[in-house]
A and B are shown apart, each in its own frame.
Chain A
Amino acid sequence: MEYSEFSRLGVTFKRLSMDTLEMLRQWRNSDDVRPYMIYQKIISPEDHLKWYESLDRKTNFYYFTFYNNEPFGVYSIKDIDLEKKTGEPGVFLKNKSLWESEFTLRGSFSLLLFAFEELNLESQIIHVLKTNKKALSYNKQLGFKINTGFQNNDFFELILKKEEFFANNRISKLLNYLEKS
């Protein structure tokens, strides 16, 4: 399925298109985003377009997210392995000031639910720079666990399994709260 647009927990997800491609590049190259990414070079319009045209849309889902009609971030599930039922979720926000906003959490939970329930993934895998303590702490609280078998000097691999996510009491409580509020 295309999943071009969906809403969950008050957040609307609109799939990346040619119309919004340049906005993505500008956000991605900004000082609020680029230093926290594994790939930190400035991305040119040409390279950005090449990247977009090379995306397999069946295994890579990139969304602009909106809260009260305002775009605030880009959430993605990429590199889906349809046989292993794994994929890599990711997020970056328009600017740093949004890091502590409730709607960014709503976006994170919505994305995880989308991947587990709609895309039927069994586990989600992320890679986080070892220096990005904030992202590490945040993802651990979402239930991700460090893959101790993964060796890399610069970043950790963390895994979130579907059954552990839905069995996590704290997550269940938060989801209940977000769904009713």
Chain B
Amino acid sequence: MELAQFVKDFELQFEEVEPNSITPDTIFRDIDEWSSLMALVIIAMADENYNVKLTGDDIRNSKTVKDIFEKLKVK
């Protein structure tokens, strides 16, 4: 499981962000498109692509994209 791939997968879930504009250090709540619905989209993506069950708390307790990846890695 690689961070770069996760960042790419994360970015692909958004419809209005510029390609390659999201990095590991991106504070995801600063993305205009971010919402509770996008949180669920990310949780569903992690389940489908990585077979890992993130929770709402995992997202709530994260600040950057890398923070989410770190939570994904230890599950």
Contact of B38 among A141, A173, A177 (CB under 8 A): A141
B-to-A contact residues, CB < 8 Å: 32-33, 35-41, 43-44, 47-48, 53, 56, 60
Q: How far is the CB of A60 from chain B (nearest CB, A)?
A: 26
- Bound CA–CA A105/B48 (angstroms): 19
**Would you call A137 and B35 a contact (CB within 8 A)?**
yes
A101 B36 Cβ-Cβ under 8 A? yes
- Known A-B contacts: A102-B40, A104-B36, A174-B41. Give 15 more (CB < 8 A): A100-B36, A101-B36, A102-B36, A102-B56, A105-B37, A105-B40, A137-B35, A173-B41, A173-B44, A174-B44, A177-B43, A177-B47, A177-B48, A178-B40, A181-B53
Residues of B within 8 Å of A137, CB to CB, are 32-33, 35
> Please, how many angstroms separate the alpha-carbon atoms of A112 and B19 in the complex?
32
The number of chain A residues with a CB under 8 A from chain B is: 17
> What is the chain A residue whose CB lies nearest that of B47?
A177
Find residues 156-177 in chain A having any chain B CB closer than 8 Å to their own CB.
170, 173-174, 177
Q: Are A177 and B56 in contact (CB under 8 A)?
A: no
Between-chain CB contacts (< 8 Å), 18 pairs:
A100-B60, A102-B40, A102-B56, A104-B36, A105-B37, A105-B40, A137-B32, A138-B35, A138-B37, A141-B37, A141-B38, A142-B37, A174-B40, A177-B43, A177-B47, A178-B40, A181-B47, A181-B53
